[in-house]
Amino acid sequence: MPRKPRFYQPGLPVHAFQRGHNKQPVFFEDEDYLVYLRLLKESAEACGCVIHAYVLMTNHVHLLVTPESTTAMSTLFQSIGRHFVPYINKTYQRSGGLWEGRHKGNIIESEAYFLSCMRYIEMNPVRAGMVDHPAKYRWSSYASNALGVDNSIIQLHEQYLALSTKPEDRRTAYCSFFAIETDAEELDMIRATLYSGTPLGNECFKKKIEVMTGCKVGVIKPGRPVMVQ
């Protein structure tokens, strides 16, 4: 069966996900997270990707990225893997692949879903029961986006900037977004479109993507989506 086409387009944000093989850990010590973040920054700059949000979990990663070309996302993950996998194998005396196939990802309609995807990504450790608030998790972009902690990886998207002209008020508005309970239907939609690669947006957005790419975007299969934290 041929692979489903990617719908990545320059300037359109992408929610991307990559998981360890058989859901096994890909990070073991603090240094592993630090190495990945260094590679993420270097690779993003080299490949033409702008990072807006991220979370590194024990066995998977989520990124919110705006690529500058149709191939930038794939090149980003290839670049990271080219260095991170040998590092892990050498450090822990293992061999073979680390990731469960190629990354999954889908483009998102900025106006409707960008901030929702930011929250989805940065709330990951809370949903996993690792912490009771995203500020308590070290390996995500929450401290940068919500608290103003310096992070050279993160670049602010126009939807985030639109929250306020003043940085302090912007961060306050963003923090308040996390006080609202996430709608279960929205969670399922984010998960289902991410796992299937289907663009996340309204019908007009999907039609626009079909015209741009010359491909049908498909539909989400009925029923509960495959669980992706």
**Which mean pLDDT values do the consecutive 10-residue runs of the chain (229 residues) have?**
76 97 96 98 98 98 97 97 97 95 93 95 97 98 98 98 97 95 90 93 90 80 53
Is 74 inside a domain boundary? Answer: yes
Residue 120 placed within a domain: yes
Q: What is the pLDDT of residue 219?
A: 66
Tell me, yes or no, whether 5 lies in a domain: no
> How many whole angstroms separate alpha carbon 108 and alpha carbon 159?
12
Q: Taking Cα atoms as reference points, which of 134, 59, 156, 40 lies closest to residue 100?
A: 59
173 part of a folded domain: yes
Residues 6+ apart with CB under 8 A from 225: 188, 191, 192, 195, 196
pLDDT, residue 225, reads 47
Residue 71 lies in a domain: yes
Give the per-residue pLDDT at 115.
Answer: 96
Q: What is the pTM of this model?
A: 0.93
Question: How many domains does the chain contain in total?
Answer: 1
CA dihedral 189, 194, 197, 203 (to 10 degrees): 30
**Domain membership of residue 167 as a residue range:** 14-210
CATH code assigned at 173 = 3.30.70.1290
Position 171 in a domain:
yes
> Is residue 218 domain-resident?
no
Supply the pLDDT for residue 69. Answer: 97
Residue 23 lies in a domain: yes
